[in-house]
Chains A and B, each alone.
Chain A
Amino acid sequence: MRIAFRDGCRAQRDALRAYVDGDASGIERLAFERHAEDCAACAAAWRSAQALDRELHRIDHAEPDADFEQRVATAVRARLDALASSAAPATIVLDPATRFSSRRCAAAAALVVAAVLCGWFAANLAHDVAPSPILSSTAPGFGTSAQVPAPDDLVDPVRLAETKAEFTRVLLDCARSSTPLSTFRAESATLRKNGWPVETLLVAAIEDPNDDVARAAIGLAAESRCDLARPALLRADRRPRLRVDATRALGVVADAPVVALLERRLDDPAAWAAALDALESCPRRDALAALESAARDTSHMERAAEARLALARRGPPGARALLALAADGDGDAARVLGDSRVVDAAVVLDLLRVSRDAELARVALETLPDAAALTLIAQHHDAMQDAFGTDAFRRDVDARLQRCFELHDLVRGALRDAPTSAPAWVDLLARHPSAGASTLDAVLADATLALEVRVRAAVALATIDRLDPRVAFDTAVVALPLDLDAAATLLCCAVRAGMAESDVPGLDPKRTRDSFRSARATADRWRADGRPPESWERARIAQKLANARL
């Protein structure tokens, strides 16, 4: 919107902004309102701003339902209860001020655990609830904590027990029938709607002594990335039968300390593999560092090899770590990179453009197959030459072109599928004539390719003096109506080689001869002067030749 403000009301723009935002003082508001009475532009701007604010209120109206606050308060209270109860032993053990001896610490911890267990049993017996796997082992904190008794209106023990039993039933049903946990999520949504803290129930289920219940709960915690489950997962990690699942889940939960787990798993292949799996999917940056560290660990060669494979499976971030290893001379890392094909053009370009790490980019380029590398080089030749250095890059490209058996098919396929890539490919081949000239010949001879592409190939060959004069002449004639400059170049090539007297089929002989004579004279003058033909001169000749044809 462009409003035509009067000269005198430029100063009112700030006032308008302050007025609309409610920041204007009383005097400023009065001054603006008086001004707006006289100034249509300011009044219109004011109305528009008000209308926009009204509409913003409408589109952002979505308010939570009426019992939202109560629901949140209930859930927060339950979670705080759970945290308060589960955090108590850790506080005692970790508090440096107490300076307990290890024996005293152990005794204190045992007392706390015993007290907590007594509390659970007492609570469960007092509530006279049918025994359930979850109830018999649940962590305190479902509103029955002795430290912070929850009011009855917030947590009803009977309802809570029923909810836990229902929770366990659905969890096990899902696990046993291998049902996707969508069913479970639907149930969870209902529970949450009713104010029950699903995460807390889940944490309790993870610590259930029944391995099936615990395993199903661990799976759900991983799938739902339940951060609250982290302490319970760490405890489950100490149970041998749950170790693999717990480790994998810890890797999924975002801030799990799986990195530290990896080092403790060297003696247990299954658990180490699980930790490795966990690290593969762990989004944290230090997970990547842990994998890289394991891959560098030469004291455990097999584990290092597995870590390299795990890095390769992590995609581009892992590829970068492997590239760093390969750049340090790790041949296995280079081999893994080559086999896994995890490095692609995007990785190389990312290293060049974003990281500006030419050394890693060079290693990455080396791991690419010839076809992919040449395609990338054709598209970004100049940038790569700048990054890698002219001589080394030239040698590398020459070598690739020489050894690439499928070069003809590659280039012809690329030109057929994407004619717009023709300039890049033709330039690349012309820059490396020892390996590229034969492919340019093949392109020129391939009648299935677009004429523009073939003409470009012919011009490139003419530029490097690899074009047969007769072919140059024929191509020039074909190219005349298409590209005068290219035709002129090709005709010059033919003229220099003494092809001027040839007949051009389908053209007026006299006019063609005159034009060719003129072209020859110009070419002679160029030779005598010893200077290359300027493009405008070539264009002029081509124009004459085109006129001759017409």
Chain B
Amino acid sequence: MTRTDRMTTDEDAPLVARARAGDRAAFDALVIRHARCVARLARRVVGNAEDAEDVVQETFVRVFQHLQNFRGRSSFRTWSMHIALNLAHDRLRTRRRTPSPRDLAAGIAPLDSLAPDHAANGRDDRAALERAVADLPPRQRLTLLMKVVDGLTHVDIAKVLGTTESAARVYLSMARSTLRRRLASWFARDRRNT
């Protein structure tokens, strides 16, 4: 267990215990603490913010309903994220569609927020990277983003995805190598710039 994981668990533990005893305020605090992280994961799966918000709500409803079953083997955050992932997949199945790369790229920062030295090639690079990330297999994409953007450990990622730590490492490695292969020119230019 990493230090971050221990901290999260330690901080959540009293709130979880109080919530389990029926303290709604404690549960609200847990929701407020982890909703954003869960929402990011849900959005990556369902592809848009509205559906993601529905998934987040449903997630915490389920979390509350099953709080008695939470054994503390993982952190509260990864447990919630695992539930959110399953619900997001259910929602996708229900709608019988998968998010298009455009959906997945929804909410991306405007181009003028790029650094000036990247502005010239920013549009192409950004689009290429978005496309390359969107084209990754779902598990690889989620692993990469959870690792890089959310800063989760391999253990946490494995628990969220319901797999092993070594599998999570493999997903991450494959995602990185796929991106390197698909974005060869981008990397080359980056090396030249530096």
Contact = CB atoms under 8 A, between A and B. Distances in A.
Interface of A: 1-2, 17, 21-23, 44, 47-49, 51-53, 55-64, 68-73, 75-77, 79-80, 83, 148, 189, 192, 225, 227, 254, 283
B5 interface: no
B160 interface: no
Interface string B105-134: 111110001100000000001100110010
B176 A49 contact: yes
Given A76-B57, A79-B61, A59 B35 contact: no
A23 B90 CA distance: 33
Interface of B: 24, 28, 31-33, 35-36, 39-40, 43-44, 49-50, 53, 56-58, 60-61, 64-65, 90, 93-96, 105-109, 113-114, 125-126, 129-130, 133, 144-145, 147-149, 151, 154, 172-173, 176, 179-181, 183-184, 187-188, 190-191, 194
B131 to A, nearest CB: 10
Contacts of B114: 58
A60 B149 contact: yes
Given A56-B133, A189-B50, A62 B107 contact: yes
Given A21-B172, A62-B107, A75-B57, A57 B149 contact: yes
10 contacts: A1-B180, A17-B176, A23-B154, A51-B190, A52-B176, A55-B125, A55-B126, A59-B129, A60-B149, A62-B107
Contacts of B53: 64, 68, 71-72, 192
A55 B148 CA distance: 10
Contact of B32 (A21, A59, A70): A70
Nearest to B96: A283
Contacts of B105: 59
B100 to A, nearest CB: 15
Nearest first, the 7 closest Cβ-Cβ pairs linking A and B are A62-B107, A69-B32, A1-B187, A76-B60, A72-B35, A73-B31, A69-B35
A17 B96 CA distance: 37
Q: B24, B94, B95, B109 — which one has the most chain A CB atoms within 10 A of its CB?
A: B24
B28 A73 contact: yes
Contact of B133 (A17, A59, A61, A68): A59
Contacts of B65: 83
B108 A55 contact: no
Contacts of A56: 129, 133, 144-145, 148-149
Contacts of A51: 187, 190, 194
Contacts of A22: 151
A68 B57 contact: no
Contacts of A47: 190-191, 194
A83 B66 CA distance: 13
A349 to B, nearest CB: 22
